[in-house]
Amino acid sequence: MSRQTRRLNLQRTLEAIPGIRKVYFQPPASIHLEYPCIVYSYTGDEVLHANNRPYIVRDDYDALLITKDPLPDEMMDRMLDIPYTSFDRHFVEDNLHHFSYSLNVIERISNG
């Protein structure tokens, strides 16, 4: 599966979180965000090898859940339901609550 396909699968997963109005992938600064939303960006990847062949591919993303609600329980719980996701921190900017997460999209490669 390609990196783009893995990212689009992640996009669909994020869009399915109840209460989220929009999901943005690396939006330009000029875009007007609709809240509550998720803004995420690609931060890198890693390929693990076994027997000198790729075995696991991991794509890393940072995601911000941005909302006016200071404790959006259901949205936060659904973010943590995504495999290989961890909460990093919370901060407030422009009267909006930002919940920062690290997400890892992992694919096991068949070397059959």
* Confidence band for 66, pLDDT divided at 50, 70 and 90: very high
**Domain boundaries defined on the chain:** 3-108
Helix or strand holding residue 10 (H, E): helix 3-15
The structure tokens listed for 13 are: 């997963």
Backbone angles phi, psi at 4, to 5 degrees: -65, -40
Question: Of all residues in the chain, what percent carry a pLDDT higher than 90?
Answer: 80
CATH of 3-108, one of 3.40.630.30, 3.30.2000.30, 3.30.1330.40, 2.40.50.140: 3.30.2000.30
**Residue 62 burial (CB count, 10 A):** 14
Amino acid 51: pLDDT: 85
Average pLDDT over residues 26-39: 96
Tell me what pLDDT residue 82 has: 96
Angle, alpha carbons 42-35-76 (nearest 5°): 65
Instruction: Report the mean per-residue pLDDT for the chain.
Output: 94
Q: 112 pLDDT exceeds 70?
A: no
When pLDDT is cut at 50, 70 and 90, the band that residue 99 belongs to is very high
For residue 25, give the nearest of 35, 15, 97, 17 by alpha carbon: 15
| Arithmetic mean of pLDDT, 11-36 | 96
